[in-house]
């Protein structure tokens, strides 16, 4: 009899796990497709720009360094939006959810206005500040002015997508994003190269393509939210508690994204100490890492935020913890397998980008370093997503700061330069960076008070909602 009960428990556990993994796949595949299309769009822009001149490529590259600012702000505010929308969806409080989404959209639009003004007034000066030559400043400043003009729409689009994802709707953002990226590709080719009746606008055409596509994306997402085609609706924002919580969740996420971007500058300088080939090899490896694993780990991170946020909103913290662990296990298995394949095929992947023997040799080792890191990446992203779904973005911030600055920068320099291990020290620094991130978010997940934090924030919003009725 006992053996029969044990077998029943095992089957129930297996059914529960498989059901959760099926739900994760259903939520996650549109996110993976969306991220793949985003990468393709940027690749097309680079290819088109490369047909103009080296100065054009440099102008786009330097302009995009600044264009990451609205991206980071949008992703940070998106963290707050997905936490609040998922929790209120789980609780079944449509009014509070709609107010949270609307406020996130308005805050996002307002945050983009100073960037639009900065591009208009200081676009060329910002490019010149990076030490670019005059032609690059001319092209890059104009490109940045155009792209920054759409900064409010860029941020609104990111927040809108994350808000819908928090409700469990990951397909609408995918369809809208695919449409916008398709438009971007067509306009980049048409306006950049002057195809058919379109004028040949070169870098300006690529900038217009980006600005127009991001504006269309934001309008489509806001329209979808305000229509009957999606669950949420636009509502009058009157709740200051929501605003305060939105900033409390978003600020650490924005700081983490910006700090991570800033760390890339000194890290690139460190790699350049070992030659141009080494630096080129690092960028090749990083591109392969983003292309092969980016859609996967971003999907797992977002799915974790959705599922955990909804479970907490429904008052099931035990289920939220179980779901987070189950999604992390699936993530480790998936990305671990991807890491093994990447490690074994590292040289072939490097050869896709270069035929220079030295560059290929370095790129192969960099790719293998990222491949070894995959198991830690598989832990870090879903658990950080789970914490975000609960409203805890400080623990992922600490993980990013320690991983980027203590290990990827300081650790790599110590091993590579001070101790004389050369690029081997840099490879080790990359692996240790992700290991440290995984360890910190795992500790925060296991022993942090994220369930209590979510419960407190839910209670505060509920009290404010009752007071306003």
pLDDT confidence band for 260 (50 / 70 / 90): confident
Please tell me the pTM assigned to this model: 0.88
Q: CB of 267 within 8 A of CB of 409?
A: yes
Q: Is the pLDDT of residue 9 over 50?
A: no
Report how far residue 158's alpha carbon sits from residue 452's, in angstroms, rounded to the nearest whole number. 28
Please, which residues have CB within 8 angstroms of residue 14's CB and are 6 or more apart in sequence? none
Secondary structure of 300-363 in the HEC alphabet? HHHHHHHHHHHHHHCCCHHHHHHHHHHHHHHHHHHHHHHHHHHHHCHHHHHHCCCCCHHHHHHH
Question: Hey, what are 265's tokens?
Answer: 């500058």
3-state secondary structure of 239: coil
Residues 6+ apart with CB under 8 A from 306: 27, 82, 86, 165, 166, 168, 170, 389
Residue 417 per-residue DSSP state? I
pLDDT of 448 above 70: yes
Contact predicate 89/168, CB 8 Å? yes
Q: What are the pLDDT digits (tens) for 153-210?
A: 999 999 999 999 999 999 999 999 999 989 998 998 898 888 877 787 888 898 999 9
CB 453 within 8 A of CB 305: no
User: What is the C-alpha separation between 161 and 210, in angstroms, rounded?
Assistant: 17
CA 101 vs. chain centroid, Å, equals: 19
pLDDT (tens digit per residue) in 344-380 = 999 998 888 777 888 889 989 999 999 999 999 999 9
The Cα–Cα gap between 63 and 111 comes to: 19
Distance, in Å, from the CA atom of 211 to the CA atom of 429, rounded to the nearest integer, reads 37
Residue 150: its H or E element:
none
Please determine, for residue 335, whether its predicted confidence score (pLDDT) is greater than 90. Answer: yes
Helices (H), 129-170: 134-149, 151-166
Contacts of 251 (CB under 8 A, 6+ apart): 76, 393
Q: 10 Å Cβ neighbour count for 105?
A: 25
The position carrying tokens 């900033």 is 247
Average pLDDT over residues 111-131: 91
Whether 131 contacts 48, CB under 8 Å: no
Q: Determine the Cα–Cα distance for residues 197 and 303; give it in Å rounded to an integer.
A: 44
Q: What pLDDT was estimated at residue 317?
A: 94
Of residues 11 and 446, more confidently modeled: 446
């Amino acid at each position: 009899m006992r053996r029969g009960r044990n077998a029943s428990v095992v089957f129930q556990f297996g059914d529960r796990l498989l059901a959760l993994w099926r739900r994760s796949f259903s939520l996650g595949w549109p996110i993976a497709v969306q991220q793949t299309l985003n990468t393709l769009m940027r690749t097309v822009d680079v290819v088109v720009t490369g047909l103009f001149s080296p100065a054009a490529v440099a102008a786009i590259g330097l302009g995009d360094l600044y264009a990451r600012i609205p991206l980071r702000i949008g992703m940070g505010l998106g963290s707050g939006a997905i936490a609040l929308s998922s929790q209120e969806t789980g609780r079944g409080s449509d009014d509070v959810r709609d107010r949270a989404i609307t406020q996130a959209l308005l805050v996002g639009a307002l945050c983009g206005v100073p960037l639009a003004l900065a591009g208009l007034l200081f676009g060329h000066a910002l490019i010149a500040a990076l030490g670019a030559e005059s032609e690059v400043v001319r092209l890059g400043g104009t490109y940045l002015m155009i792209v920054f003009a759409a900064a409010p729409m860029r941020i609104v689009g990111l927040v809108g997508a994350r808000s819908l994802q928090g409700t469990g709707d990951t397909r609408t953002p995918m369809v809208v994003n695919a449409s916008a990226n398709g438009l971007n590709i067509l306009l980049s080719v048409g306006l950049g190269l002057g195809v058919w009746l379109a004028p040949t606008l070169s870098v300006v055409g690529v900038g217009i393509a980006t600005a127009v596509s991001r504006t269309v994306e934001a309008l489509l997402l806001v329209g979808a939210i305000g229509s009957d085609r999606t669950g949420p609706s636009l509502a009058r924002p009157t709740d200051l508690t929501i605003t305060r919580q939105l900033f409390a969740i978003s600020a650490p996420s924005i700081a983490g994204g910006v700090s991570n971007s800033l760390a890339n500058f000194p890290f690139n300088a460190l790699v350049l100490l070992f030659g141009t080939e080494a630096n080129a090899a690092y960028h090749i490896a990083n591109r392969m890492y983003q292309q092969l694993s980016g859609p996967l780990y971003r999907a797992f991170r977002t799915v974790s935020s959705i599922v955990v946020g909804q479970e907490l909103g429904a008052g099931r913290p035990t289920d939220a913890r179980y779901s987070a662990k189950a999604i992390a296990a699936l993530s480790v298995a998936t990305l671990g397998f991807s890491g093994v394949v990447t490690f074994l095929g590292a040289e072939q992947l490097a050869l896709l980008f270069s035929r220079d023997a030295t560059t290929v040799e370095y790129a192969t080792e960099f790719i293998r370093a990222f491949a070894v890191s995959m198991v830690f990446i598989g832990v870090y992203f879903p658990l950080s997503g789970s914490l975000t779904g609960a409203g805890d973005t400080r623990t992922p911030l600490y993980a990013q700061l320690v991983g980027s600055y203590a290990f990827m920068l300081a650790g790599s320099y110590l091993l590579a330069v001070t101790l004389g291990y050369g690029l081997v020290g840099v490879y080790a620094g990359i692996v240790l960076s992700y290991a440290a991130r995984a360890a910190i978010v795992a500790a925060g997940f296991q022993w942090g008070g994220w369930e209590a934090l979510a419960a407190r924030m839910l209670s505060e919003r509920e009290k404010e909602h009752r007071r306003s009725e």
